[in-house]
Structures are given as C-alpha cells and as structure tokens.
Structure 1
Amino acid sequence: MLFAFICTDKPNSVDLRMKVRPDHLKHLEELGPKLKLAGPFTNDEGSPIGSLVVVDAESRAAAEKIAAADPYTKEGLFASVEVRAWKWTFGNPETK
C-alpha cells in the first residue's frame, strides 16, 4: 500500500535542511524499491519549504516508522508530518 508523507518545514530552517540533506538522501536511497517518489516543496522563489515522499509500506504503522526514521524528522526540521494512504492513479509506471 502506498503512503504519502506531506512534510512542512519549520520557518527559517533552510540551513538545517542543507546540513542534514546528505543523511536524508542516504535514508531515502536505503529504502530501495519501497521509495516510489520524493522531492521538496518550494516557495515561489524556489527555496525548499517541505517535502513529499511516497513509499510502499505494509501498513500505516510501517509507513509512520519510515517517516520517523528520516534524518529530517529526527533533527527537527519539520513543523508537521502528515502520513496519508495514497492511490497512484495517473503516471504510475507500474501500471503501464
């Protein structure tokens, strides 16, 4: 089952995001095929202000465990992390 993590950065946290980014990217890479897509939300100027991560997990609890293990979460970058079940309807390469 797919789950989307909708993450909002704390205000004025770009420096923290950049500092922790290498560890965050390593975490995502280690998810292997569980990771379906990921990338930052940006403001109108292109500066990152949050993240969208979609993973394939056995349950909501498993997805929440993945979200909690993200270095961005551990280092306190996010003001909020919402975990939602998600159905990939359009553009899913696995359904072509």
Structure 2
Amino acid sequence: MLYALICTDKPNSVDLRMKERPGHIDYLNGLGTALKAAGPFTDEAGSPIGSLVIVEAKDRAGAEEIAKNDPYAKAGLFAAVEIRAWKWGLKNPEDK
C-alpha cells in the first residue's frame, strides 16, 4: 500500500534542513523501490518548509517506521508529520 508522509518543518529551520539534507537523501535512496516520489514543499519565495514523501509499505506501521527513521525526523526538523494512505490515480509510472 502507498502512504504519503506529509511533513511540516519547524519555523526558521532551513539551516537544520540543509545540514541534514545529505543524510536524508541517502536514506531515501536507500529505500529502493519502496520510495515512489519525494520532494520539498516551499514557500512563495522557494525556501523549503516541509516534505512530501510517497512510500510503499506493508501497512501503516511500516510507513510510520520509515518516517521515524528519516534523518530529518531524527534531527527534530519537523513540527508535524501526517501519514495518509494514498492511491496513485493518474500518471503512475508503474502502469503500463
């Protein structure tokens, strides 16, 4: 099942995000095929203010584990993380 991890950064945390970014990217790449899509939310000026990560997990507990082990989460970057079951409706690259 697919899950959307909707992560909101704490205010004034761009420096922490940039410091932890290499580990975050390595972590996401290490998820292999479980990672379906990822990228930052930005403010109108283009500064990152959160993340959207789409993952495949056996169940919600698996998605929670992925979210918890993200270096951004471990560093305390996020003010909130919402996990929602998600269904890819259109333009799924895995659809043939």
The interval holding the TM-score normalised by the smaller chain is over 0.9
- The Cα shift of 1:24 comes to 0.3
Unmatched runs of 5 consecutive residues or more in structure 1: none
Aligned length: 96
Cα RMSD after superposing both structures: 0.5
Runs of 4+ off more than 2 Å:
none
Identity, % of aligned pairs? 68
Rounded to whole Å, the distance in 2 between the matches of 1:94 and 1:26 is 23
Aligned partner of 1:88 in structure 2 is 88
Residue 5 (str. 1) matches residue 5 (str. 2): yes
Cα distance in 1 for partners of 2:49, 2:91 equals 25
In 2, Cα distance between equivalents of 1:94 and 1:33: 11
Deviations 1:11-38 (A, max 9, x none): 0000000000000000001000000000
Verify: 1:22 aligned to 2:22, yes or no: yes
Gaps of 5+ in 2: none
Please name the residue that 1:33 is paired with: 33
SS of residue paired to 1:67: helix
Tell me the secondary structure at the aligned position of residue 94 of structure 1. coil
Normalising to structure 1: TM-score of the pair? Answer: 0.99
**TM-score, with normalisation over the residues of structure 2?**
0.99
